Copies of this chain bind each other. A is one copy, B any other.
Amino acid sequence: MPELRHDPIQRRWVIIATERGRRPSDFVKLEPDQSGGFCPFDEGNESKTPPEVYAIRRPGTKPDQPGWDVRVVPNKFPALMIEGDENREGVGIFDKMNGIGAHEVVIESPNHDISLSDQSLEHFEKIVRTYQLRLLDLKKDLRFKYVLIFKNQGITAGASLSHPHTQIIATPVTPRVVSMELESARKHYELKERCLFCDIIRQEMENGERVICEVDGMVAIAPFASRFPFEVFIAPTKHSHDFCELDKNGITALSKCMKEVLTRLKLALNDPPYNFMLHTCPNVEARSRRANYWTTLEHDFHWHFEIIPRLVRTAGFEWGTGFYINPTPPEDAAKYLREIDINAGG
């Protein structure tokens, strides 16, 4: 069973994957093995993954057989284990708990070589709808306080398999990054009775110089204090704290907007490695044993995607301080991305 351990100095949780137990010799080669041969995510290899938990299938096809458009399976090497209880425990000055949680893979397409930006709009919508359905389902497990949806595209961004996929990790604690965002938004609301994110989005849309594109109520912005070159923030212009509230039209709008942004990044930066992460409100129904847990959230969050192209390395300065050196002003990044002719290329 993996362990969750808490650092009392930085007040952050770490997953110690005790069952992997990697020895020094396992780290000699940093590059993951991107073997050109067998892929467990290809259509026809369904038996090589754990049984699917969800799939969008063509009529008449059976689970764990060919015939799917999008397929979700548990991760074969999960960072957290689905069975068990928290078992929170003190270890002298430290705290630990069982590494319970869920770790799933959304196989975005049977097509091994298609990038997310090149999916048809219709297929992109199926992927986004799948994210939403898995989130809704995982939130029913009241042990899970947060569900993170994220994508690692390219080796530099941490991908170990090249078949297009997204990952989902449900955690028994609210992650520090999310707590920080909730706290900032709550403080702002207490002071102004307005959503912090709504205020930022309104200011950015009025100013315009950091806006990359706006599509049917979804806006893509290069954040004022971007940590990384060509970082992108995508959110609904209308207030919504919960990604699961997004309706059919909203899914279409988000798919159009993300597809456009990913296409612009691909053309501007020569198909860069990237990560994206969905930030949405925590699981408010989850049991809580902690005083600072959030129970009312409507005004305290505004869901959004963060996209981070992995173009520069983080080094000692970033790790030592938590602040970042970004060589590309976001105004320049937004201008480059706006001016890309997306009909000329890919």
Contacts and interface: CB of A to CB of B under 8 A. Distances in A.
A74 interface: no
A-B CB proximity, top 6 nearest:
A158-B315, A277-B320, A150-B316, A175-B321, A7-B225, A275-B316
A344 interface: no
A18 interface: yes
Interface stretch (A39-47, A248-256, A305-313): A305-313
Interface string A191-204: 00000110110010
Contacts of A229: 22, 27
Given A175-B321, A317-B167, A226 B14 contact: yes
A329 interface: yes
Contact of A317 (B5, B148, B308, B313): B148
Interface residues of A: mostly helix, strand, loop or mixed?
Answer: mixed
Q: How many copies does the complex hold?
A: 2
Interface centre among A176, A223, A275, A315 (most CB of B within 10 A): A315
Interface of A: 5-18, 20-24, 27-28, 30, 79, 91-94, 146, 148, 150-152, 156-159, 167, 169, 171, 175-178, 180-181, 184-185, 188, 196-197, 199-200, 203, 207, 223-227, 229-230, 268-270, 272, 275-279, 306, 308-309, 311-317, 319-330, 332, 336
12 contacts: A8-B196, A14-B324, A16-B330, A21-B329, A22-B328, A24-B230, A152-B315, A167-B316, A175-B321, A176-B322, A176-B323, A275-B316
Contacts of A199: 93
A302 to B, nearest CB: 9
Nearest to A148: B320
Contact of A323 (B14, B277, B324, B330): B14
Contact of A156 (B277, B309, B313, B336): B313
Given A150-B320, A176-B322, A325-B15, A224 B94 contact: yes
Interface centre among A226, A272, A275, A325 (most CB of B within 10 A): A325
A185 B202 CA distance: 39
Given A157-B315, A315-B152, A321 B176 contact: yes
